[in-house]
Amino acid sequence: MYSDKVMDHFTNPRNVGEIADADGVGEVGNSRCGDIMKIWIKVENDVITDIKFKTFGCGAAIATSSVITELAIGKTLTEAEEITNQAVASALEGLPPLKMHCSNLAADALKSAIEDYRKNTATTAS
Amino acid sequence: MYSDKVMDHFTNPRNVGEIADADGVGEVGNSRCGDIMKIWIKVENDVITDIKFKTFGCGAAIATSSVITELAIGKTLTEAEEITNQAVASALEGLPPLKMHCSNLAADALKSAIEDYRKNTATTAS
Amino acid sequence: MGQIYMDHAATTAVRREVAEAMKPFFTSKFGNSSSVYDLGREARRGLDQARDKIFKLLGAERAEEIIFTSGGSEANNLAIKGVAWAYANKGKHIITSSIEHPAVLDTANWLTQFGFELTVLPVDEYGLVDSQKVASALRPDTILVSIMHANNEIGTIQPISEIGKIVRQHGALFHTDAVQTAGSLDLDVDELNVDLLSISAHKFYGPKGVGALYVRRGVRLEPLIHGGAQEKRRRAGTENVAGIVGMATALELAQTERKVESARLTKLRDKLIKGLQIIPDTKVNGDLENRLSNNVNVCFKYIEGESLLLNLDLKGIAASSGSACTSGSLDPSHVLLAMGLSHEIAHGSLRLTLGRENTEADVDYLLEVVPEIVERLRAMSPLYQ
Amino acid sequence: MGQIYMDHAATTAVRREVAEAMKPFFTSKFGNSSSVYDLGREARRGLDQARDKIFKLLGAERAEEIIFTSGGSEANNLAIKGVAWAYANKGKHIITSSIEHPAVLDTANWLTQFGFELTVLPVDEYGLVDSQKVASALRPDTILVSIMHANNEIGTIQPISEIGKIVRQHGALFHTDAVQTAGSLDLDVDELNVDLLSISAHKFYGPKGVGALYVRRGVRLEPLIHGGAQEKRRRAGTENVAGIVGMATALELAQTERKVESARLTKLRDKLIKGLQIIPDTKVNGDLENRLSNNVNVCFKYIEGESLLLNLDLKGIAASSGSACTSGSLDPSHVLLAMGLSHEIAHGSLRLTLGRENTEADVDYLLEVVPEIVERLRAMSPLYQ
Ligand SMILES: Cc1ncc(COP(=O)(O)O)c(C=O)c1O
Ligand SMILES: Cc1ncc(COP(=O)(O)O)c(C=O)c1O
């Protein structure tokens, strides 16, 4: 069902955990639909220097969370924001059709974390 | 499907043919429903002394025609009239349920032949 | 005495290659194809490969256009009821022909109690449906036309491509029951101009109890069997994986061997027809040109079909008849009657359908045996003078 | 690493004796059971013997009370639609429960567009239907009540005999989906007080794609699949003789071994439940008393079912979950939700269903592996603190 790449990220997820002093935190999904992703980021000079995730969800949800942390790290916020759910699926060598919609939310979680960071810094700046 | 007895009468039907100077002839069925039986009888002193049949029909129709000629020969007309379709089926060690109604007409054909004989003699007597 | 089977239109034996292909799915690859684990995935792979084979063999566009069923009857019921319920808002008129299989005719008839209207087109003396009659029968509220590809009794092949063109130009959906042709004719759904097409595995050396319905992309269909999410929610029930794999294997083999085998059977068929025609008062039924390569159907006047079959069985020959007595009903074959035959003559029909195991020696043996039997039965018949 | 299959409620492998019994009907005894000749009669005999075995095993009165179908889904559809269409004149009210299989629930729901009214009874936290609730739901126009014998997810066994008594006294017909119990409980249709009962062969080591519906004598039924005269005109289509013979063999074996095997599985089941309960934040689902001998169903809070199954698969264990992610829908198991579980908890369910090949060593291995996996997934879960 899943590609080797998905299974690799599922069995050895990268960057699992939380960042205690994160600059931004994003969360998407809800327990009703069965997938919750939470992403923590550290940002320095507009670049994502650290990123961690925790996910409640199926194999696809865990793998997409894991792979987006690899895709995002080292990128500027603008670059990171441009990562699409589709790009995440491609990085995993594809997802089963049924999983494309319900479990492919990692890009949204990252965007939400970046938004949170911007909100935090805007508040600080004001 | 058919009992050995039916198959015996079907493969070696008794008394097939016609009686040129028959005292009575009976016919039942029609080509629409797929079974036509014709029975010829010779009668002496109220006893059936000869009997022949011709049948257009399925295995059951042929076997019931054949077996009734054996049952009827040597019987008085009154006795012969009492042979039922059920008795014919029993003499054949049973018939498949589907054949009980549509192809078990031999007793009716015999009755019709006896009726014909009675009509003929009544006419002669008058 | 050897057994000669000449009833391949009724059913066929599962061929060796098919039985082999099915085997692992009974035991080692027995998983439920909906499951995530390895065993389930193996079953899913078997199912996917079978679907791929079949959609390609039918010239379809995508695998999802194939819905697996439990046979030809279910496929026909699903096609007709499925379209009727899904398109009832658009219209309630259905067109079919008088020589369809009961799985089409009875199904369409059943729908009339729900306000559907049915036009049953007549056929000519050869069993052919006239495409012009289809054209005239089409109405603005016609949602579906169902005409069989070839008839199971008389082997007449209908001008499906032509009819399909007319129907689809009109904007109605077109279904064909290809149960008798899947193993022997080219089945390209685009060339045939069909939207739905039924097949049944046991007619082409696959297992009984498995079939498929081709449904062109975009055609809506209400399920016949509601429940689980199998077959993209169009047919519930744990899939008969072994049977489906068997069907795909059988169809592939049949289609590969189609041309060579058809030519061989046509020769045997024509020899058989010619030989039987010599018997006096014999009528050949069906169209001699547009005819399945394996079908022989004749009526011997003055005799009845079942007694003929029983005699043939005693000689080791398995054949079939349109006689009422073989079907348990009073009326003989509705197909022969629709072609204008009288009840009496229709009762005396014999259908011989050839297949893989039949040889010329079989044909010769038949031609030796049948005349004797016919003569014997006629001598017993009150209709024969 | 060996494979451990613990998903017997999903499907089972065809056992050796069953495969053997089926074999001849693919090849040498392949005839169409409707034919008059020898080959057809052999198939007919196979069919008749299978029907005899099954009607007796179900405690039915006569062979004709058994209708062969393509599986449990078709049997359920036939029971519900068949009774609904046949008795629509008498009434249009149907009662069922919230934990039925989709083949019952979706079918009953489908009928509501035709003016049928549906009462879906709730269940308690153990998944039990209250027979008093059935009694109160009965109306003068109730024609059918359908309550499953045991649930496929949680294994809860319903008080069918008691419910049946109430329903039949009221004059309505009573159907039970016995797909999960046919191989493991005593199925006497008179003791169960049922008029209709569905079974499916692949749940008791028979082949996929074959099932049966018991229909008490006198109960009218409109066919689901119209067409040929098979099954006394109640189910058209060339019979899957091999499959049917396989089902009869499998049912006979299962019923013979039932008591001994049930006792063995109950022990394994209880050890498994006890061992899993040790994991913190674990909930056992279903009734612990009225429970199938092979069913274990637990929820591990804070984790999701599919990721659990994938990890089990990597350890060579085949199991199942009521998680939405395994079914492709958004909502998790309607059964767990009906019992009052929250979405979050229902997503973390694990079903282990034991069977013939499972040993105590398998149970021990499971108890070793599951806690580690649960811990690992919880460490990754944003819900777990
Ligand atoms: C309780 C129950 N009913 C019906 C079915 C449907 O049976 P089948 O898949 O054979 O159609 C199943 C299993 O899938 C089941 O567990
Ligand atoms: C033309 C045609 N359609 C449909 C069917 C029904 O197929 P099945 O018996 O597989 O249901 C048959 C054969 O029985 C057939 O010959």
CATH code, domain carrying D94: 3.40.640.10
For helices D360-379 and D241-277, what crossing angle results, to 10°?
Answer: 60
Pairing verdict, β B47-56 and B35-44: antiparallel
Segments forming the whole domain that contains residue D151: 16-253
Is B96 part of a structural domain of the chain? Answer: yes
pLDDT in tens, C221-238: 999 999 998 999 999 999
Alpha-carbon distances, residue A120 vs C196, D177, D192 (angstroms)? 60, 58, 67
Predicted confidence (pLDDT) at residue B31 exceeds the cutoff of 90: no
Residue C121 and residue C189 share a domain: yes
Predicted confidence (pLDDT) at residue B33 exceeds the cutoff of 80: no
How many other CB atoms are there within 10 angstroms of residue A120's CB atom? 15
- Boundary-marking domain end, from C253, C281, C296: C253
Contact status, residue B29 vs residue B37, Cβ threshold 8 Å: yes
A1 Cα to chain C: minimum distance (Å):
7
> Binning pLDDT at 50, 70 and 90, where does residue A22 land?
very high
Chain B partners within 8 Å of D44 (Cβ)? 1
pLDDT at D327: 67
pLDDT at D258: 96
Diameter over CA atoms, chain A: 50
Contact status, residue D233 vs residue D78, Cβ threshold 8 Å: no
Known catalytic residue at D299: no
By CA distance, what is C344's nearest residue in B? B31
Percent of chain C past pLDDT 70, that is, above it, reads 98
Q: Which atom of ligand 2 is nearest to the CA of D230?
A: 9
pLDDT at C231: 94
Residue D316 and residue D217 share a domain: no
Residue D187 and residue D203 share a domain: yes
Predicted confidence (pLDDT) at residue C73 exceeds the cutoff of 80: yes
Which of D18, D8, D74 is closest to D223 using CA atoms? D74
C-alpha to C-alpha distance for C113 and C115, rounded to whole angstroms: 6
Residue D149 and residue D272 share a domain: no
Predicted confidence (pLDDT) at residue D72 exceeds the cutoff of 70: yes
pLDDT in tens, C179-222: 999 999 999 999 999 999 999 999 999 999 999 999 999 999 99
Residue nearest to atom 5 of ligand 1 (CA): D72
pLDDT at A102: 66
> Would an 8 Å CB–CB cutoff place C42 in contact with chain D?
no
Q: What's the rounded mean pLDDT across residues D69-94?
A: 98
Which of B37, D208, B71, A40 is closest to C246 using CA atoms? D208
Predicted confidence (pLDDT) at residue C1 exceeds the cutoff of 70: no
Interface test with C, best of D118, D238, D317 (most C CBs within 10 A): D238
- From ligand 2's centre to the CA of C180, what distance in Å? 8
Sequence-distant (6+) residues with CB within 8 A of D316 are: D1, D2, D3, D4
pLDDT in tens, A67-92: 999 999 999 999 999 999 899 999 99
Chain D partners within 8 Å of A61 (Cβ)? 304, 307, 325
Q: What's the rounded mean pLDDT across residues D207-215?
A: 98
Is C385 part of a structural domain of the chain? Answer: no
Residue D175 and residue D32 share a domain: yes
pLDDT at C37: 85
pLDDT at C364: 98
Percent of chain D past pLDDT 90, that is, above it, reads 92
Vertex D385: Cα angle to D272 and A89 (nearest 5): 85
pLDDT at D281: 96
φ, ψ of residue A25 to 5 degrees: the values are -130, 135
> Would an 8 Å CB–CB cutoff place B98 in contact with chain D?
no
Number of domains in chain B: 1
Using CB atoms within 10 A of its CB, is residue C74 exposed (0-12), middle (13-18) or buried (19+)? buried
For residue B64, give the CATH number of its domain: 3.90.1010.10
Q: Which residues 61-80 on chain B approach chain D with CB closer than 8 angstroms? A: none
For residue C317, give the CATH number of its domain: 3.90.1150.10
Residue C190 and residue C154 share a domain: yes
Whether the CB of C158 sits within 6 Å of ligand 2: no
> Would an 8 Å CB–CB cutoff place C353 in contact with chain D?
no
pLDDT in tens, C332-380: 899 999 999 999 899 999 999 999 999 999 999 999 999 999 999 999 9
pLDDT at D162: 98
For helices C241-277 and C360-379, what crossing angle results, to 10°?
Answer: 60
Is B50 part of a structural domain of the chain? Answer: yes
pLDDT in tens, C298-307: 999 999 999 9
- Boundary-marking domain end, from C205, C223, C253: C253
Distance of CA D331 to the CA centre of its chain: 21
> Binning pLDDT at 50, 70 and 90, where does residue A124 land?
low
pLDDT at D251: 98
pLDDT at C29: 92
Residue C218 and residue C144 share a domain: yes
- From ligand 2's centre to the CA of C211, what distance in Å? 10
Predicted confidence (pLDDT) at residue C329 exceeds the cutoff of 70: no
- From ligand 1's centre to the CA of D127, what distance in Å? 18
Least confident span in A87-91, C69-73, C143-147, D13-17: A87-91
C-alpha to C-alpha distance for A35 and A58, rounded to whole angstroms: 7
By CA distance, what is D323's nearest residue in A? A34
pLDDT in tens, D146-158: 999 999 999 999 9
Is A126 part of a structural domain of the chain? Answer: no
> Binning pLDDT at 50, 70 and 90, where does residue D18 land?
very high
Contact status, residue A44 vs residue A22, Cβ threshold 8 Å: no
- Boundary-marking domain end, from C235, C253, C271: C253
pLDDT at A37: 95
C-alpha to C-alpha distance for D315 and C226, rounded to whole angstroms: 35
Segments forming the whole domain that contains residue A13: 4-121
Pairing verdict, β D93-97 and C142-146: unpaired
Tokens of C215: 């449904």
Is D385 part of a structural domain of the chain? Answer: no
C-alpha to C-alpha distance for C179 and C195, rounded to whole angstroms: 15
pLDDT in tens, C238-290: 999 999 999 999 999 999 999 999 999 999 999 999 999 999 999 999 999 99
Backbone dihedral region of D64: left (phi > 0), alpha (psi from -120 to 50 degrees) or beta?
alpha
Is B59 part of a structural domain of the chain? Answer: yes
Is A19 part of a structural domain of the chain? Answer: yes
Interface B:A, ≥3 CB–CB pairs < 8 Å: no
Q: What's the rounded mean pLDDT across residues C145-154?
A: 98
Alpha-carbon distances, residue C361 vs C205, C219, C262, C264 (angstroms)? 22, 48, 18, 13
Residue D288 and residue D150 share a domain: no
Number of domains in chain C: 2
> Binning pLDDT at 50, 70 and 90, where does residue A126 land?
low
Chain D partners within 8 Å of B1 (Cβ)? 36, 41, 44
Residue C301 and residue C171 share a domain: no
Residue D165 and residue D28 share a domain: yes
Question: Among B73, B102, B115, B118, which one carries the catalytic annotation?
Answer: B102
Q: Which atom of ligand 1 is nearest to the CA of C236?
A: 11
Residue D274 and residue D240 share a domain: no
Is D78 part of a structural domain of the chain? Answer: yes
Computed over every residue of chain A, the mean pLDDT equals 92
Segment holding B48, helix H or strand E: strand B47-56
Residue D341 and residue D281 share a domain: yes
Ligand 1, CB within 6 Å, residue ranges:
C 237-238; D 71-73, 76, 101, 103, 148, 152, 177, 179-180, 200, 202, 211
Segment holding B38, helix H or strand E: strand B35-44
Tokens of D319: 């199991």
pTM: 0.95
